[in-house]
Amino acid sequence: MREDLLREAELELQETQRRNEETALRRRQEVMNRSPEIASLLAQREDLIHGTMRGILQREAAPEDLPERMEQVSQNIRKRLKNLGLPEDYLAPVYDCPLCRDTGYVGDVVRERCACVRRRYQARLRKAIGLPERGEETFETYDETLFADTPLPDVGLTERQAMAVIRDGCEKWANNYPAQIPRDLVLSGKSGLGKTFLLHAMANRLIQRGYNVLLISAYQFLETARRAYFDNEAQAEDLTGAEVLMLDDLGSEPMMQNVTIEQLFNLINERQRRNLATVISTNLSQEELRIRYTERIASRLTDRRNALFLPLRGRDVRNGRQG
């Protein structure tokens, strides 16, 4: 969990709660101004409640007919609200979330965070790492029919079938995390085959499942690497320590002598040493990775024990939805 984002989500809920309480008070005031009868009924109901509370504190049994008397007053209030042309529940507590009544927690015995807080948190996390806020790039919205149903040479599958296999591989990986073997995943293929879409779909699934994802572009990586190299500081802990790190479009960044390779190796090596999962998309093939980043980096990304290497094949579909 990113504590800062969780805090924001909780503050937003508190703000909702405050606004709803205000609405409830305003309604009450409005009704009392319009109808002295309801005002007196509300006072009666409060007297009954207070009387009961006092009774409990003084260990007295509540009057037997109390529930009926309460119900009678409530019925009376509802009837009069209706006569004023207002909904019967106009004076009921107002809240956005019926599960937790905007308290943020559910459960009497085991208190846990309500789904509404998790939703607010996840929306913030998606925004913070650059995913579309509504999370529409998902496995559910992945459309393999964008790929041609024509056979790929030497594969025995059509483009569309091959993409379905890749999609399933990614979804399985995201569903099995953190028990997936191998730990890392590399999507390799030309531009326009939907690698970024798949990365986003994996990120969305992991976030939905409650995991923390950091998604950065290869350019952003290089920026961090450059700072780490020249300022001689340890590589930013948010990259090396991220629960799941997704590095998009490796190979598209400029190559900086001494910097790129050393820092990339440090990053991958340190994350593998700490047993943290990394997902990379790249426009480079295994061979091209080796040439550009040296053998020792390529082997970390292509060795079966370290990474699931998924080669995407097919034609550019960037004119379609999946860029």
Q: Under the rule (CB under 5 A), what is the footprint of Zn ion?
A: 97, 99-100, 114, 116
Q: By the 8 A CB rule, do 213 and 247 touch?
A: no
Q: Does an H or E element contain 308, and which?
A: strand 307-311
Q: How far is the CB of 313 from Zn ion (least distance, A)?
A: 45
Give me the least distance between CB of 122 and Zn ion, in Å please.
14
- DSSP assignment of 84-110 equals TT--TTTTS---S-TTTTTSSEE-SSS
CB of residue 92 to Zn ion, shortest distance in Å: 17
CB of 100 to Zn ion, least distance (A): 3
* Alpha-carbon span 252 to 245, nearest angstrom: 18
Query: Residue 12 or 288: which CB sits closer to Zn ion?
Result: 12
Least distance to Zn ion, CB of residue 6, Å:
14
DSSP element (H, E) containing 249? strand 244-250
Q: Helical H runs in the chain? A: 3-34, 36-57, 66-83, 115-128, 159-176, 195-208, 218-230, 237-240, 259-273, 286-293, 295-302
Contacts of 201 (CB under 8 A, 6+ apart): 137, 138, 139, 141, 142, 170, 171, 174
The nearer residue to Zn ion, 100 or 170, going by C-beta atoms, is 100
Query: Cis bond leading into 178, ω under 30°?
Result: yes
C-beta of 115 vs 155, nearer to Zn ion: 115
The encoded tokens of residue 204 equal 């969305």
Q: Name the minimum Å distance from CB 81 to Zn ion.
A: 27
Residue with Cβ nearer Zn ion (16 or 302): 16
Query: Smaller CB distance to Zn ion: residue 13 or 193?
Result: 13
Number of CB atoms found within 10 A of residue 247's CB? 24
Q: Between 116 and 166, whose beta carbon lies closer to Zn ion?
A: 116
Among 217, 166, 223, 206, CA closest to 189: 166
Give the nearer residue to Zn ion in terms of CB position, either 16 or 260: 16
Smallest separation, CB 97 to Zn ion (Å)? 3
Q: Using DSSP, state whether 310 is helix, strand or coil.
A: strand
The answer to whether 216 touches 247, Cβ cutoff 8 Å, is yes
